[in-house]
Amino acid sequence: MKLYYSRLQIELTRRCNQSCAHCCRGEAQNIDLTKAIVDTFFEKNDIYCISNLLFSGGEPTLNGEMLEYFIDKIIEKDIIVYSFMLSINGLSYSKELINGLNKLRDYIILKSNSEGYYPGILMISQDQFHKEANQEVIEKLKDLPYFSPIDKHIIKEKNILPYGRALENGLSKQQPDLSNLTNYQKSYKIKEYEGTTYLVIDYQYISANGNIINNGCESYDLMDEYALGNVQDQSIEEIHLKNQVKKLTLK
């Protein structure tokens, strides 16, 4: 069975060089995505397409080497990718991370056979909680074709998620809602198309420790508690078939 991801988000690290008061993750952890986890993920799964590939942390630049390694695997496996997105805090620079994004952009354009196509976005988070970005980092990024101009803005209270430090600091008026973590059945379907079976996944978050999560907006502790499984133990197909994914026919 082939995997078709509408959105796949990869957590490169749980380390961070800030301690933002509104962080939904909670306290940073000394956990990095490893080559062993990435290798196992690609060995156990037949991935056909990743429509939108996202990378996150922690602070992604602290493990830029794994972003480049992940991209190299995508290219090696000839997996279709349509777009990518990444947000950093602008305090540190990673040559490996930029090398990986450059490779991915060139690969997507080559596969799409469209030189005028702009498939990715790299952003710097700048709001009332984040520290001012390092100007030297901005200078190194500003000429990249996928770098988005910095948008300094105020995060409204209604948009602050009630998990991690935000919950501890009373910054959100929302109530914690775990339905996105537990209601996995809405995100996965099995579809048949031209004789091939696809496991179509609307959104999946793969944590730096290999855990597979149905939603990536909660604290590290909650995501680990409600993980569907781990890529080192089972394939994505095995994890979701045991949860009785509903089978549909592609029209």
Predicted confidence (pLDDT) per residue in 115-141, tens digit: 667 799 999 999 999 999 999 999 999
Q: Give the integer Cα–Cα distance in Å for 159 and 103.
A: 33
Instruction: Evaluate whether residue 141 is within a structural domain.
Output: yes
Q: What does the buried/exposed string (b/e) look like for 156-181 if buried means 16 or more CB atoms within 10 Å of the residue's CB? A: eeeebbbbbbbbeeebbeeeeeeebb
pLDDT digits (tens, 9 = 90+) for 37-79: 999 999 999 999 999 999 999 999 999 999 999 999 999 999 9
Instruction: Evaluate whether residue 125 is within a structural domain.
Output: yes
Number of domains comprising the chain: 1
Q: Give the integer Cα–Cα distance in Å for 12 and 77.
A: 20
pLDDT digits (tens, 9 = 90+) for 167-186: 999 998 888 888 878 777 77
Q: Give the integer Cα–Cα distance in Å for 38 and 12.
A: 10
Stretch 97-112: mean pLDDT? 95
Q: Give the integer Cα–Cα distance in Å for 216 and 93.
A: 24
Average pLDDT over the chain reads: 92
Considering the entire predicted model, what is its pTM? 0.93
Instruction: Evaluate whether residue 251 is within a structural domain.
Output: no
Quote the strand ranges of the chain, DSSP E.
2-11, 46-56, 80-88, 120-124, 188-193, 196-201, 204-206, 211-213, 229-230
What pLDDT does 251 receive?
34
Q: Give the integer Cα–Cα distance in Å for 91 and 166.
A: 21
Domain that holds residue 159: 2-241
Place of tokens 């301690």: 19
Instruction: Evaluate whether residue 183 is within a structural domain.
Output: yes
Instruction: Evaluate whether residue 64 is within a structural domain.
Output: yes
Instruction: Evaluate whether residue 250 is within a structural domain.
Output: no
Instruction: Evaluate whether residue 57 is within a structural domain.
Output: yes
Assign 243 a pLDDT band (cuts: 50, 70, 90).
low
Assign 143 a pLDDT band (cuts: 50, 70, 90).
very high
**Torsion angle, CA of 105/109/114/120, rounded to 10 degrees?**
-30
8 contacts 47 by C-beta, under 8 angstroms: no
Q: Please check the confidence at residue 4 and state whether its pLDDT lies above 60.
A: yes
Instruction: Evaluate whether residue 153 is within a structural domain.
Output: yes
What pLDDT does 234 receive?
93
CATH of the domain at 7: 3.20.20.70
Cβ neighbours of 26 (radius 10 Å): 19
Q: Please check the confidence at residue 245 and state whether its pLDDT lies above 70.
A: no
- Give every CB contact of residue 86 below 8 A, 6+ residues apart in sequence: 54, 55, 56, 60, 67, 97, 101, 120, 121, 122, 123
Sequential DSSP letters for 60-94: GGGGHHHHHHHHHHHHHHT-EEEEEEEEE-SS---
